[in-house]
Structure 1
Amino acid sequence: MICSLSKLTEKDLQEINNLEQEIHSPLLAFSCSDTPMTELSSENLQKIQSLEKKLGVSLVAVAGKC
């Protein structure tokens, strides 16, 4: 399962902002989808981890072609 920040309408954002004000805490909205992961060799996993460290991001290898 992969999650990312949600795409929200102005109305959705306003409702979230209202609730943030009410509970005195910021909220993040995530949407998730079932995405098949791919099997990786140790070498490819190491390459991904190296690039993650270099860029300061998290990368996820999914099944399929680029």
Structure 2
Amino acid sequence: MLYPLATLEAEKLRALKNLEQDIGSPVVALAGVEANTAALPEDQLKKLQELEKELGVVQVAVRPH
């Protein structure tokens, strides 16, 4: 399961902003997405990790359908 940022409709975004005000802290909404991760050989995993470091983002290799 992966959890990208959720896209919220106006009403849900309003509820989230109200919660942030109530608790005094930012809240990040994430959406669950079913995904089967790929089992990469060590050399390919190293390439993925190097690019992660270079780009400053988390990357997940998934199995194609």
Q: TM-score, normalised by structure 2?
A: 0.92
Q: Which residue of 1 aligns with 2:45?
A: 45
Q: Which residue of 2 aligns with 1:11?
A: 11
The unaligned stretches of length 5 or more in structure 2 are none
Q: d(CA) in 1 for partners of 2:29 and 2:51?
A: 27
- Runs of 4+ more than 4 Å apart: none
Q: d(CA) in 1 for partners of 2:49 and 2:23?
A: 38
> How far 1:47 moved relative to its partner?
0.4
User: How many residue pairs were aligned?
Assistant: 65
Q: d(CA) in 2 for partners of 1:40 and 1:46?
A: 9
Percent of residue pairs bearing the same amino acid type: 38
* CA RMSD after TM alignment: 1.1
Q: TM-score, normalised by structure 1?
A: 0.90
